[in-house]
Structure 1
């Protein structure tokens, strides 16, 4: 069995037909960690996370194929790793803070709040790696606002690169300690028998300046999640027994569920049907990334050994199916702020439409003009939208409610006036048609 990686993966087995797989990027064993970071697409995900999107990068493949090395680098103290060997996570931290610095220089009024969580899923139990002694098994809940989330997960804030490196190091120490109890197996003595998820929540509060209205404050809730999946392999090859057999069975079950979700999402006919996200903790927490409004990067790690041909083919097929999934990314915002922005856009559109109709019909440029031969009295000038579009505390529900009411009142007034203007326009057009016909008759008589 051999692999050619010039733009495509070409798999040839002795006596069999070559199979080709096409991906966005293919990296050989000689690829450095720097080249991987620069070329795999993670930088685009980080930029989108800062813009308010939910992004995920996860590594999938057989045990020993390089998933953990790609995501975090060597299994050692995080801040003592050779810079050249640092994985995607450490390089992503540096890139994020550099990007935030550049954005702040362009717009000093923008405020970023950064928080992190780090968890492990082992035997379908969720453990907080930043607070391991608190509760051994945290529940996964669901809400309409958040989707699936882990309850009581410790989520510290960080302000600089040293803070987040300390968070990563603390999580890695807890994870390494758990490995002593979890164990490894025959394929890799350093094998992880669990999935890990490091999530950075990136809240960006910015001023949205509008020339037609006063400035408003908008908060975008972006996030980037790094997932290191447990190895996928057959039970007989791992030679697992006892507790290790239970571990391998649970791992394969969660990965099988992940595969079923990916298969269903990649098939347009099945996508509208039932997707089995609820069948495992892993797929619950990845549901937004895979089939929701997020953006996902999958790094498929394979072994060059002919002995692992079967697992390699499974990994490649996995990646091909994942590549077919089509998501519709959306910026994550507070529902109330999203409603305010929606009303602002509608107000702007209605004003533009109103002005256009007045110009076309030669109506006076007043708030409410002559419509159908009758002058409409302008509504009393509210302290209105412009004066109330100052910064409101998001907890001040009364102020937000008043602002929404003002928007809705003005939008309704504009809709009503625009409807009357359209009616007037139709009436004028009908009169023009009748006059044109009458003129044609007079011309024929002459």
Structure 2
């Protein structure tokens, strides 16, 4: 894409250049959508997490994009994401050529198990990808896992909160009064692991060599009586999450939250459902607005996300789930039993779903590319 004006475009950072040339970029993106992508796809009718029976696929990876907000449009932002079919998404990376005069768009395409566009509701995401896991966990013998991953401000925690609210009723609807549900809530941050149900007391993520189980110790495990109690516990845990101001969001989650539910049914091996709200990913592009403490936190968060990506990629490639750093990385160590047990259920469908959330705003292009590249590698 070239700039037709003879006057040179002033040299500026990428985000400013995008806003200054929003009209030109936006017009080019719409031409690409019409010429290359064609008509918008129909609603997804392919396999969901409930009926996918691939022997080799142990982890489903989905993407949800949020809408472009009115205040972003007023600030000069434009939409740089396009859904290409029901399983692909394109990022339109708008930038200036090295001569600082002409404009360029690189179109990056990524394929996943499913892509939910801005019109998809949380109910649709839940019914397609999470409800099947809730039912398997309630039936016993399956360790189901849901992970939310994405940039701060991309709708990650919003989506997870919606999933929490919906699964409460469905989980207990599948159980009898004699069945028991217990819960633990662990926060993993730069300072280590903390038990949020014990006031944030420090704990250690330890593996039992005899049984292979991995749990944070010491850690409170509380009994949950009914959907109302579980919903209240979710809300309590969310209020305790460690947050800090970032350049994107004034309540950015600066830690990983691991909420694990254990289901015990008479005569059936226990099942579990692990819900992981991963910390908001940060990039070097925002480092100028970070304190030294925030920079250290960001480095630790990105290191843990990289370890998780490598471990899950090994699992989906037909190997075993690896715990990084010789099994000492708290995040991968804590999740290892869930992934190992979900692999045993692989022939019945995936016991794990990763939902990556992305922002369509042009200012978030680098963040969205980073999220999708990591998710595509899983």
Instruction: Pick the TM interval, shorter chain.
Output: 0.5 to 0.7
Residues 1:23 and 2:102 aligned together:
no
How much does 1:18 deviate?
4.1
1:174-228 deviation per Cα after TM superposition (whole angstroms, max 9, x unaligned): 22xx43xxx22112111011110111110111xxxxxxxxxxxx23210101110
Give the CA deviation at 1:17: 6.1
For residues 255 and 272 of structure 1, the distance between their equivalents in structure 2, rounded to whole angstroms, comes to 18
C-alpha change, 1:163 and 1:4, in structure 2 (3 Å) is closer
Give the deviation of 1:310 after TM superposition: 2.8
Q: Hey, what does 1:149 align to over in structure 2?
A: 215
The 1:70/1:162 distance shift into structure 2, 3 A limit, reads same
Moved more, 235-244 or 63-72: 235-244
1:98 corresponds, among 173, 178, 182, to 173
The answer to whether structure 1 residue 140 and structure 2 residue 205 are counterparts is yes
**What whole-Å deviation, never above 9, does each CA across 1:388-446 have from its counterpart, x for those lacking one?**
xxxxxxxxxxxxxxxxxxxxxxxxxxxxxxxxxxxxxxxxxxxxxxxxxxxxxxxxxxx
**Aligned partner (choices 353, 360, 364) of residue 304 of structure 1:** 360
Q: Is the 8 A contact 2:321 2:336 kept in 1?
A: no
**Change in 2 beyond 3 A, CA 1:308/1:186:** same
Q: Structure 1 307/261 Cα, relative in aligned 2: closer, same or farther at 3 Å? A: same
Asked if the contact 2:143–2:341 (Cα under 8 Å) also holds between the matched residues in 1, the reply is no
> Which whole-Å deviations, capped at 9, do the CAs of 1:117-147 have from their partners, x for residues lacking one?
11211115111111115x3x10111113143
Question: What's the TM-score once normalised by structure 1's chain length?
Answer: 0.58
Higher strand share: 2
TM-score of the pair, normalised by structure 2: 0.67
Shift of 1:5: 4.6
Whether the 8 Å contact between 1:124 and 1:280 is mirrored in structure 2 is no
Find the counterpart in structure 1 of residue 126 from structure 2. 37
Q: Matched residue of 2:251: which SS?
A: coil
Determine the structure 2 residue equivalent to 1:89. Answer: 164
Q: Counterpart of 2:156?
A: 67
Native 8 Å contact 1:117 1:153 kept in 2 = yes
Q: 1:15-36: per-residue Cα shift (whole Å, max 9, x none)? A: 5664433323221223222222
- Is 1:204 aligned with 2:265? yes
Structure 1: segments with no counterpart, 5+ residues: 73-86, 105-109, 206-217, 323-446
Q: Is the 8 A contact 2:309 2:375 kept in 1?
A: no
What residue in structure 2 maps to residue 320 of structure 1?
376
Matched, 1:163 2:229: yes
Whole-angstrom distance in 1 between the partners of 2:126 and 2:238: 21
Distance 1:35 1:51, change over 3 A: same
- Distance of aligned partners of 1:272 and 1:196 in 2 relative to their CA distance in 1, 3 Å threshold: closer
* Matched positions, count: 278
Q: Is the 8 A contact 1:265 1:275 kept in 2?
A: no
The 5-angstrom pairing of residues 236-247 of structure 1 reads: 236-238=285-287, 239-247=289-297
Report the alpha carbon displacement of residue 2 of structure 1 after superposing the two structures with TM: 3.6
Distance verdict in 2 for CA 1:190–1:33, change over 3 Å: same
Question: Could you tell me how far 1:38 is from its partner in structure 2?
Answer: 1.9
Compute the displacement of 1:49 (Å).
Answer: 0.4
Query: For structure 2, which runs of at least 5 residues remain unmatched after alignment?
Result: 1-79, 95-103, 344-350
Match of 1:234 among 283, 288, 302: 283
What is residue 82 of structure 2 aligned with on the other side? 3
| Structure having the larger proportion of residues in helix | 1
Cα gap change, 1:302/1:237 in structure 2, threshold over 3 Å: closer, same or farther?
Answer: same
CA RMSD of aligned residues (A): 2.4
User: Which range moved further: 162-171 or 259-268?
Assistant: 259-268
Residue number in structure 2 paired with 1:118: 185
- Change in CA separation of 1:66 and 1:272 when aligned onto 2, cut-off 3 Å: closer
Alpha-carbon separation, structure 1, partners of 2:356 and 2:247: 22
| Residues 138, 274 of structure 1: alpha-carbon distance in 2 compared, 3 angstrom cutoff | closer
For residue 273 of structure 1, report the CA deviation from its aligned partner: 9.7
Q: Over residues 23-57 of structure 1, what are the superposed CA-to-partner deviations in whole Å (9 max), with x where a residue is unaligned?
A: 23221223222222222x11110111012200110
Distance change (3 Å), C-alpha of 1:154 and 1:49: same
Aligned residues of 1:130 and 1:167 also touching (Cα < 8 A): no
Q: Out of 298, 306, 313, which is 1:248 matched to?
A: 298
Work out the CA distance in 1 between the residues paired with 2:168 and 2:148.
Answer: 18
User: Of the two, which has the highest radius of gyration?
Assistant: 1
Verify: 1:56 aligned to 2:131, yes or no. Answer: no
**Are the equivalent residues in 2 in contact too, given 1:68–1:228 (CA < 8 A)?**
yes
